[in-house]
Amino acid sequence: MTQLRIALVQMNIEAGNTEANFAKMEQKLEEAAALEPKPDLIVLPEMWNTGYALKEIRKLADPDGERTKKLVSEFCRRHGVNVLAGSIAQLRGEGVTNTIHAFDRTGANIAEYSKIHLFQLMNEHLHLEAGGAAGSFELEGVPAAAMICYDIRFPELARKLALGGAKLLIVPAEWPHPRLHHWRTLLQARAIENQMFVVSCNTVGESGGSSFFGHSMVIDPWGEVVAEAEERETILVADIDLALVDEVRGRIPVFADRRPELYE
């Protein structure tokens, strides 16, 4: 399968209000599944269950992600769609991780990735535990990968995922004002240098004392913006043809021309 219709759920998150956030998540998933034609993949933003209520995160986090996994898995089975369930604050033992779960059309949990790079400016490192592995997986036969928000500032991670075969990079985020220029530039750079599609789902509105600008984006392997949301709640839909990845990689053979022996 090379052609995918993707729906990005750009929504406001109420920091600390897990019940309101779960209710909105379920509502938005239903809205996305009701679109015609139905999307193949629905993507949610970062930390949608809690927002950045970091001082309360241990009591707010979803224990082992069980509530999220049960709800999203059942939704996928019922509607026959794939969902990358953004990321959630997930309680693991005594610690909390910022974790992605991805589900296929049957409801199977096909991938899990916890944010590797913690953003010290928001004190993530004081309240969250970093993940220890990259987020590669397969989506309906397509090599794919996931990163979370601050991860996109680390090009070596994106290159590792591309060298592993990823043609589609999915990025849930809570990326705030005033760094819109950084957001757009970094996402386009990751697409151009790795010659892959980049799909990024941001949040929007006021949450936890920060203002988020939205601008969820779908970017093709040339770095061209296929679709971009505005600064409001919306479901952004884009159709992509993953065959373009092989075409671009064939026309400009970046990977074949690498000199990794000189990079260390």
pTM score over 0.75: yes
Active site includes 160? no
Burial 114-127 (b: 16+ CB within 10 A, else e): bbbbbbeebebeeb
pLDDT at 130 (0 to 100): 97
DSSP alpha helices (H): ranges in the chain?
A: 18-33, 57-60, 66-79, 124-127, 155-163, 180-194, 243-251
Which tokens is 181 given? 């220029």
Neighbours of 90 (CB within 10 A): 26
pLDDT at 254 (0 to 100): 96
Which residues of the chain are under the pLDDT cut of 70? none
Active site includes 46? yes
Q: Are 19 and 26 in contact (CB under 8 A)?
A: no
Q: Are 261 and 38 in contact (CB under 8 A)?
A: no
Active site includes 201? no
Which tokens is 261 given? 């022996």
Of 222, 227, 162, 183, the closest CA to residue 7 belongs to 227
Using one digit for the tens of pLDDT, what is the confidence trace for 155-205? Answer: 999 999 999 999 999 999 999 999 999 999 999 999 999 999 999 999 999
**Chosen CATH of 3-257 out of 3.90.1150.10, 3.40.50.720, 2.60.40.420, 3.60.110.10:** 3.60.110.10
Considering 28, 124, 129, 149, which one is annotated as catalytic? 149
List the chain domain ranges: 3-257
Which tokens is 52 given? 């950045």
Considering 46, 112, 124, 129, which one is annotated as catalytic? 46
Of 188, 144, 117, 158, the closest CA to residue 43 belongs to 144
Considering 76, 115, 124, 201, which one is annotated as catalytic? 115
